[in-house]
Amino acid sequence: MKTLSICALLFLAAVPARAQVDLAGDWRAVQHEDTFRRGGVLVGEYVGIPLTPGGRLRAESWTASQLTVPEHQCIPHPVTYAEHSYAMGQMRVWNVVDPETAKIVAIRKRGTWMEPERTIWLDGRPHPPAEAPHTWQGFSTGRWDGHVLTVTTTHIKSGHLQMNGVALSDDVTLTEYFTRRGNYLTNVTILHDPVYLTEPFIRSSTWELDPSLNFVRYPCGPNEIVVEIPRPPNFVPHVLPGQNTGLDEFAVRYGIPVEAAGGGAETMYPEYLQRMKTAPVPAAPKPAAAAAAAR
């Protein structure tokens, strides 16, 4: 008994050290949370997003028809969304080695849909000046904080936060925390956007290592672009303010107050549970209307 007690005490103090972390490999997304948001959300579904009024107005003027415009068809998901979308349903990560020093100077990663590819520099280089070009995947630098790879990304093109018009400006900055545990890799991301978000927006994604992954290609280029809907040249599909008739769809379908569906920082916190007890909920659709909508 005495020996066991000694063992227990020593184990308590002897915290085991992990092996050096390597993120390289083929990863398959584990899609157990936020399933809809990753695959597509409804118009007017902004719950849990700290939108500014301007961000909400811009989202409400969006229409899915924009995705059909030839000039937009090959726009990839920006890094702010790609990490949590089906674009990273399959993800390949590899290390970049400096041939002179044999040291790892960067990590590269690539997804499938539109093939978003990015470099995370580990060699201590600074971010470019503010006026440098912005790209869909931005400019990323990383550092290891123990087992966590902390990545800071700037110079991201103005893009979307999710696929229903919620937008981010090109002032957005992204902080990511990549953590590997066994065969799981998790990325916790925090966004700051002084234009469209009133406070930081945090979310996460997880992948599982899959060495047998059949990594598919989903490129998009001139050969993939087609005229889906004939339109006048330079036409941009849109909805003018106050004219979007689809904004209630999410609230109606799930019995959620319309004001909650509109998002805002207050919808992220527990206090909002009380607010929802008194906020008006839209009536359920009549069966005939629901059936027509389903068609």
Partner 1 sequence: MMNRIPFAVVGFVVMTAAAATAQRGGGTPEPSSASAAAPIDLTGSWVSVVTEDWRWRMVTPPKGDYIGVPLTPQGRKLADSWDLARDNAEGNQCRAFGVGNIMRMPGRVNIAWEDPNTLRMDFDAGTQTRRLRFGSSPAGEVSWQGSSVATWEITSGGRGAPPGKPRTGDLKVTTTGMRPGYFRKNGVPYSDKMVLTEYFDRHSEQGDEWFTVMAIAEDPAYLSEPFVVTTSFKKERDGSNFKPTPCETTPPPR
62/207 with CB nearer partner 1 = 207
Is residue 231 within 8 Å of residue 63, measured between CB atoms? no
Say how many Å lie between the first and final Cα of the chain, rounded. Answer: 70
Q: How many residues bind partner 1 (CB under 8 A)?
A: 78
| Per CB under 8 A, 23 contacts partner 1 | yes
| Per CB under 8 A, 201 contacts partner 1 | yes
Pick from 64, 74, 115, 269: which binds partner 1 (CB under 8 A)? 269
| Per CB under 8 A, 47 contacts partner 1 | yes
Shortest Cβ distance from residue 295 to partner 1 (Å)? 20
Segment contacting partner 1 (CB under 8 A): 53-61, 65-73, 125-133, 277-285? 277-285
Shortest Cβ distance from residue 125 to partner 1 (Å)? 13
* Residue 256 backbone dihedrals phi, psi, to 5 degrees: -110, 140
| Per CB under 8 A, 288 contacts partner 1 | no
Q: Which amino acid is at 59?
A: A
64/190 with CB nearer partner 1 = 190
* Residue 30 backbone dihedrals phi, psi, to 5 degrees: -100, 110
Pick from 25, 195, 200, 259: which binds partner 1 (CB under 8 A)? 200
| Per CB under 8 A, 209 contacts partner 1 | no
| Per CB under 8 A, 281 contacts partner 1 | yes
Pick from 211, 270, 280, 287: which binds partner 1 (CB under 8 A)? 270
Residue 165 is encoded by which pair of tokens? 């018009």
3 state SS of 59: helix
**DSSP collapsed to 3 states, 211-263:** CCCCCCCECCCCCCCCCCCCCCCCCCCCCCCCCCCCCCHHHHHHCCCHHHHCC
The binding track of 150-189 with respect to partner 1, each residue x by CB under 8 A or -, is: -------------------------x-x-xxx--x-x-x-
Q: Report the length, in residues, of the chain.
A: 295
Give the torsion sign (CA, 194, 196, 197, 201).
negative
Go through 148-182 and write b for each residue having 16 or more CB atoms within 10 A of its CB, e for each that does not.
Answer: bbebbbbbbbbbbbbbbbbbbbeebbbebbbbbee
Shortest Cβ distance from residue 248 to partner 1 (Å)? 14
